[in-house]
Structure 1
Amino acid sequence: MNKMIKLLLASFLIMLTTIQAQKKPNIILLFADDISARELPFYGSSTWSKAPQGGDTKDVQYRAKTPVLDQLANDGVYIKTVWASTICGPSRAMMMTGRYAHKHKWWHNSDKGKWIDENGKKQKNVPLYVTSPYTIGRVAKAGGYATYWAGKTQMPGVENFGFDEACFTPGEGLKSGIKNPFTDFKIVQKKINGKRVLVNEDTGVEVDYYQQFGWYWKPHVQLMNHPNSKKQFQYWPNTKESKKSYGLNTYGPDVELDFIFDFMTRKKREDKPFFIYHTSHLGHDGWDFFSSDINKKTRNKWPGTPIVTWKNGKYIRTQPNVTGDAGNYNTHGTVTKGGIHNHINYLDYQVWLYLNKMKELGIEDNTIFIFCADNGTSGYGKGSIDAQKGTHVPFMIYAPYLNMTKKGEQDVLVNLADVLPTIADIAGVEIPTDYEINGESMIPFLTTNQKEHRPWIYSYSKDKQLIRGNNVLIDGRNKIYDVTKNPKDLISFPEVKDWSMANNKLKQEKKELEKILPRFNLHATAHDAPVKPEKVAPLTLKK
């Protein structure tokens, strides 16, 4: 071990000891949906996605405006190259477990490992808590944190992930076994004339879409372990007051934040550190139930949001005023037009609300705030194995508590799998060395003079693998790119076709990356969960 590495390690250990000795910071992780790095203005891309149906554009009217995130990215840290998986389920598995698919077995939304349940029966779609028991919620709880999960679930057995409470949108078909009685904003499968079709329950019209329980307007909401109920799961609205106010003007992302803020307030009162896992739907397209065409059979991407305006250093939100029924609605100019830029604008508004809430509670300097997304934008990168279209996501961390040695843009490599071990370090949790974690804690990079975080990042999509170093990218079609220079659109890297002309730096890194891939290339040979689940000891605090 050379002298420089020893000094860095000593510096990191001193910093980690200091973190653990202080009062533990609160952690808020805002995990957005289907948003490429190029959509966030602070990444400086020359192109982004246009409304209403997607595609590339340079038109500034479709450029998101994120004054709050811009400021946090510059005051905190944002990472130039962060990789997720190419599509939501496996990417959320990476975040939830700190592992790649060879361990958690979620290779794709439509390709998950089989498993043997507690009754000895073979089942499809193995739950993550079976293959990877040290989930992000359990890690936080082991560190003494109160835990809350809000928003998108996309995972069975949500009560088994280590979260004390939750607000799920949509919350349909969980343990209650009772259909949501409050909303008909859903696309459901029905049998008509002997044929299975999808129908918009609000209008009764057959549609070309997929089954969906609405999470934006007039949302399906289910609470888990709400303190005012003896039931583990219940639908919301759940009080006379909430039932009276619930309706067309109820916006799912607002409901999530209301319950999050209530949880934060209660935990502040109890003097208990909290971990918020906020898996927002914003960024994901969805059925536009407010479409003016009552017989509409196809979707609009990215339904409109409540209108928010940034003025004089603060946001002003227009109160929605939607009227009508059965597909015939009038928004009275209080809802934006469709477009992912409006979803991102609303996320920025919610980040502003988070900051205001932290100031109100007096915890702004003792809270770590992380913003990221799960995969590339729909219609551009989502599901793509080409170059880094599907994998390249935004990642920003604002953490006055950490006294970070870095600020603003950082040209390093980060995987979403790195978040779990980072939280473990912050929480002071020891993950046993014999339990494979594929992520690497960011704390040494963020709090010392260490210049590089990790030498390569990895992604997956079914049996396809992607890997990138600082100089070379190998995508899911086995095309190889020179990534030593950053293109203006963040994606137009030159493909290396004639390796006899390539320089030694590219050749050497290509060899190194190709040596790594076989470690994770187990789709064909270890697709399913082990017959015997991995045995693990309880998580403990670091000494």
Structure 2
Amino acid sequence: MKTIYILIALCLSWTLNRSIAQDKRPNIVLILVDDLGFSDIAPYGGTDFHTPNLTELAKQGTRFQEFYNNSICAPTRATLLTGQYAHRAGMGYFNVNLGLPAYQGFLNHESLTLAEVLKGAGYSTIISGKWHVGDDYDQWPAQRGFERSFNFVGGASNFYEINGPENPTVPLYRNNKPFYLQRGRYLTDEITDQAIGFLREQEQDKKPFFLYLAFNAPHWPLQAPEEETQKYKGVYRQGWDSLRVKRYENAVQSGVFPKGQPISTKDSSVQEWNKLTYDEQQYWQRRQQVFAAMVDRVDQSIGKVRKTLKELKKDKNTIIIFLSDNGAQGGDRNRIYTSRNTETVGLPGSYDMQNSNWSQTGNSPLRSYKDNPYEGGIGAPFIVWFPKEVKANVVKKGTGHLIDIAPTLYDFAQAKYPSKEGNLPINPLPGISLRALLHTDKNQVERPTPLFWERAGNKAVRYGKWKLVSLFKEGNKPQLYNIDADRGENNNVADQYPEIVEDLEARYKLWAKENGVVDYKLLKINSQFR
């Protein structure tokens, strides 16, 4: 009998100690913004933006020069949420079903979400913002591990409600139930306040939390509170050509772009600022003012969340990660007017979007735009803040990827990633934990295998200093760049190093086969989607 009591006491002691240990695990705030260019915030060269909260996170945390996404919304979110390459997670193209497992348009169940794994490890799980990885009810956040959810389901949303509750312009859901955004209310503010409300609710759980804060800003439509827009009046009179170079100089000075490397070659399709008429310059200044206001409001929102963490006495034990889902959006001047516009750009009835002109500045010093495998499409700002462990005011080369975030967070959370769920085999994680890199003097990820991309027939491979790029519209003719010497991707050296090209192409074919990637020409033949 005495032995039984001793065993019970030991079990209770072990359970209590385990609970105490869990309580000491860090909280996690994962912040994703939408269509933000590499230098569209002050810590990455965009000092024309007022982003004091991100600046403070950067000064007290670590930034990467090289951190990669999947070039476009839904595939990026699929990888971020599962730690899998997008095709392996079922979203190799977008949130549309093309009839193949790698292109089914929603997250498969062999790929566990961050919320599912962290919930199983004893975390409270929260989402506030954009989802875009499954449209049907059984694919929504609450059905994929999030205990508290406020979100819109698709890829874009107005920032203001201009219809009534019976036919909302902004279809929102709170814990699976329809939610009406009050007229005059700005969606970024609602996303923020819902997140804060959930954090206060979560206090009663007595558990660490995981908050996925997925802003839709600064994705189109370009809409922002007028008081924010007016803060930037006159800031952009210098135009995109001068500001693009200034951003490059700032990025070099701050260390997020290597010294001695040139800026990417100017996009010849973008008209010179000085050749615009006075009225054209006024119009384009207004558009960039609105974009800056959207980013400004996100930064204010981050400040509100940080203030809440401090009030809850959780700020000192919370990891904050900030990144963008892809580079700034390109496009031509034909897209500046749409049939949906009923008001001046920035106001609730407007429906404008970014074009290549300002987006080339947004992605400076990198090449190209969103939905493209050049660095401007897949290179994101990346900030990690956790003063207890992450080095302060440090810039590392990094060379991280979305696939690394899940193993990093599971490392911090002491969360076991399963190989099976019942009889269902779970996809293994291809990424690497960044934890050691973040708290030591290591400068970049040491990974034995390359990084890969495929989206709508556009392909890329990054292995060491080499990057192979091939574009569908150009017949997938290989281009080769030495990123260590030429991150602006100005000098294609494929003809000089045919053996490197051949090696990377062979590695890509093997990866594509393992991940269910198919020839995009076949998808185009069998699909209405482009």
What is the TM-score when the length of structure 1 is the normalising length? Answer: 0.64
Distance 2:226 2:309 in 1: 23
Identity of aligned residues (%): 22
More strand by percentage? 1
Paired position in structure 2 for 1:461? 455
Distance 2:298 2:127 in 1: 17
Contact 1:99/1:417 (8 A) holds in 2: yes
Contact 2:90/2:108 (8 A) holds in 1: no
Question: Which SS does the other structure have where 1:412 is aligned?
Answer: strand
AA at the equivalent of 1:520 = W
Change in CA separation of 1:185 and 1:442 when aligned onto 2, cut-off 3 Å: farther
Change in CA separation of 1:184 and 1:101 when aligned onto 2, cut-off 3 Å: same
Contact 1:31/1:372 (8 A) holds in 2: yes
Paired position in structure 1 for 2:208? 273
AA at the equivalent of 1:138 = E
**What's the offset of the Cα at 1:474?**
1.3
Paired position in structure 2 for 1:437? 429
Contact 1:85/1:91 (8 A) holds in 2: yes
Question: Which SS does the other structure have where 2:395 is aligned?
Answer: strand
Aligned pairs (5 A) from 1:6-405? 23-44=24-45, 63-109=48-94, 112-114=97-99, 125-132=104-111, 134-154=112-132, 155-156=134-135, 157-158=139-140, 159-169=142-152, 184=163, 214=169, 219-224=170-175, 232-236=176-180, 246-247=182-183, 249-286=184-221, 302-305=222-225, 307-308=227-228, 339-379=290-330, 380=359, 381-401=368-388, 403-405=389-391
Contact 2:64/2:396 (8 A) holds in 1: yes
**What's the offset of the Cα at 1:167?**
0.9
Aligned pair count reads 387
Distance 1:115 1:473 in 2: 28
Contact 1:459/1:465 (8 A) holds in 2: yes
AA at the equivalent of 2:390 = M
Distance 1:437 1:129 in 2: 14
Distance 2:429 2:25 in 1: 23
Paired position in structure 2 for 1:179? none
Structure 1 unaligned regions, length at least 5: 1-16, 46-59, 117-122, 173-181, 187-200, 202-212, 225-231, 238-245, 287-301, 312-334, 529-543
Contact 1:41/1:64 (8 A) holds in 2: yes
Structure 2 unaligned regions, length at least 5: 1-17, 156-160, 232-285, 331-358, 360-367, 420-425, 472-477, 524-530
**What's the offset of the Cα at 1:111?**
6.1
RMSD over equivalenced CA pairs, Å: 3.5
Contact 1:385/1:466 (8 A) holds in 2: no
Paired position in structure 1 for 2:481? 481
Contact 1:171/1:220 (8 A) holds in 2: no
AA at the equivalent of 2:379 = H
Distance 2:115 2:207 in 1: 15
Question: How big is each residue's C-alpha offset from its partner over 1:11-58, in whole Å with a ceiling of 9 and x where there is no partner?
Answer: xxxxxx9x967611111111100112122232237xxxxxxxxxxxxx
Contact 2:128/2:151 (8 A) holds in 1: yes
Change in CA separation of 1:440 and 1:260 when aligned onto 2, cut-off 3 Å: same
Moved more, 427-436 or 361-370: 427-436
Distance 2:452 2:312 in 1: 39
Residue 496 (structure 1) aligned with residue 431 (structure 2)? no
Question: Which SS does the other structure have where 1:278 is aligned?
Answer: strand
AA at the equivalent of 1:98 = G
Distance 2:73 2:387 in 1: 30
Question: How big is each residue's C-alpha offset from its partner over 1:153-193, in whole Å with a ceiling of 9 and x where there is no partner?
Answer: 21222132100011113689xxxxxxxxx85189xxxxxxx
AA at the equivalent of 1:223 = R
Question: How big is each residue's C-alpha offset from its partner over 1:100-155, in whole Å with a ceiling of 9 and x where there is no partner?
Answer: 13412312227655369xxxxxx9834203352x1111011112111111111212
Change in CA separation of 1:126 and 1:352 when aligned onto 2, cut-off 3 Å: closer
Distance 1:411 1:124 in 2: 33
Contact 1:153/1:168 (8 A) holds in 2: yes
Change in CA separation of 1:467 and 1:220 when aligned onto 2, cut-off 3 Å: same
Question: How big is each residue's C-alpha offset from its partner over 1:450-476, in whole Å with a ceiling of 9 and x where there is no partner?
Answer: 443144433220333212234222123
Change in CA separation of 1:271 and 1:336 when aligned onto 2, cut-off 3 Å: farther
Contact 1:33/1:375 (8 A) holds in 2: yes
AA at the equivalent of 2:227 = I
